[in-house]
Structure 1
Amino acid sequence: MKTLPVLTLLTAAIVATGCASYGSGPTAEAVMQPTAGNTTNGVVSFKQSGDKVLVSARITGLSPGLHGFHIHEKGDCSAPDGMSTGGHFNPDGKKHGAPGHSEHHGGDFGNLSADSNGNATLNLTTSQITLDPNAANSIIGKGLIVHADPDDFVTQPTGNSGKRLSCGVIRLK
């Protein structure tokens, strides 16, 4: 009869330990703001877990369909069209391409898929970037852009994703 409370406490301790180790890496966030004439906004969270970064995006105000989604080299959203963020973040000097392929920029996150209400979510894991501000492949202080058109994964160096609908700067939390 006394085994059940002991097992419950033991299970709770194991779960708490697992959650604590998962939550021990640095986190960052980009609050996405619409560029001039657009309504696209949202929040993108980043979580370092070992040598991988977990990316979780919640974006609203999109037209239904696919939209290119990339980290850009400069954390500057001052231009009304978002062009102040520069080109794609590419610390390894690779060609533009789809995430998961050997040739793609560290900042190539592929496409967001917006539903009929203009809402999109994306969850991905990558080992090409880090939240360590001292590393060459750090995304801290970089820009994040949601584009109007789908990334075709072929056109160099941008993926032909069109204008920039929303801009955010990745900051440590």
Structure 2
Amino acid sequence: MFNRGAVAIVKGGPLAPEISGAVYFKDVPGGCCVCAEVHGLPAYQPTTNDESPIGPHGFHLHEKGTCEIGNPNEPFLAAGDHWNPANQPHGNHAGDFPVLFSNNGYSHLSFFTNRFKVADVIGKTVIIHENPDDYRTQPCGNAGRRLACGVIEYR
């Protein structure tokens, strides 16, 4: 069977309009290869006082296929929670991805997962967050505000 693959075209929202990029999904034996290329990420800013650092950036699949901005101070909430089809604790969601590091605004990341195939993620969203995911806080990792969004579609 021919696999078309999938892509999410990621665009920054009101908190980081300069973000743009694409996240590609391709079935491979035993799972899926995910490849992200993103431009315009905010630079890393270390923790100050009790505030969270900016970056590395949390990177997740979310449940719903919408990038509706809604409240510009808390955009993309309509995308729902992390995608978690196996009802696992946070840190083990199928939608928990590695963080994105900003290298002068640019990030390239490729990884393999055996948690899903391309057909499983069509219509979900990719979200890039302001802060790193702690992979512990339930239910969603305290990764901060949602900076950018893209809906996953067949290509």
The one of 44, 49, 63 equivalent to 2:28 is 49
The one of 89, 96, 104 equivalent to 1:95 is 89
Is 1:25 the counterpart of 2:26 in the alignment? no
Is 1:130 the counterpart of 2:117 in the alignment? yes
* TM superposition shift of 1:151: 0.7
Q: Write the distance in 2 (CA, Å) between the matches of 1:139 and 1:164.
A: 19
TM-score by length of 2: 0.85
Assess if the C-alpha contact under 8 Å between 1:25 and 1:50 holds in 2.
Answer: no
Deviations 1:44-70 (A, max 9, x none): 111001331000000111122300000
Q: Write the distance in 2 (CA, Å) between the matches of 1:63 and 1:124.
A: 22
For these two proteins, the number of residue pairs brought into alignment is 139
Q: Write the distance in 2 (CA, Å) between the matches of 1:47 and 1:151.
A: 24
Moved segments of 4+, more than 4 Å: none
Q: Write the distance in 1 (CA, Å) between the matches of 2:36 and 2:9.
A: 10
The one of 41, 49, 54 equivalent to 1:62 is 41
The one of 148, 155, 167 equivalent to 2:130 is 148
5+ residue gaps, structure 2: 45-55
Q: Write the distance in 1 (CA, Å) between the matches of 2:107 and 2:30.
A: 26
Higher helix share: 1
Give percent identity, aligned residues only. 39
* TM superposition shift of 1:158: 1.3
Q: Write the distance in 1 (CA, Å) between the matches of 2:68 and 2:86.
A: 26
Q: Which has the larger radius of gyration?
A: 1
Secondary structure of the corresponding residue to residue 109 of structure 1: coil
Assess if the C-alpha contact under 8 Å between 1:25 and 1:49 holds in 2.
Answer: no
Deviations 1:89-119 (A, max 9, x none): 000000111xxxxxx000000211111x111
The one of 86, 90, 100 equivalent to 1:112 is 100
Deviations 1:23-79 (A, max 9, x none): x53300000011113122211111001331000000111122300000000010012
Superposition RMSD on alpha carbons, in Å? 1.5
Assess if the C-alpha contact under 8 Å between 1:152 and 1:159 holds in 2.
Answer: yes
Q: Write the distance in 1 (CA, Å) between the matches of 2:43 and 2:116.
A: 29
Q: Write the distance in 1 (CA, Å) between the matches of 2:151 and 2:15.
A: 19
Q: Write the distance in 1 (CA, Å) between the matches of 2:15 and 2:89.
A: 31
Secondary structure of the corresponding residue to residue 43 of structure 1: strand
5+ residue gaps, structure 1: 1-23, 98-103, 133-137
Q: Write the distance in 1 (CA, Å) between the matches of 2:143 and 2:132.
A: 5
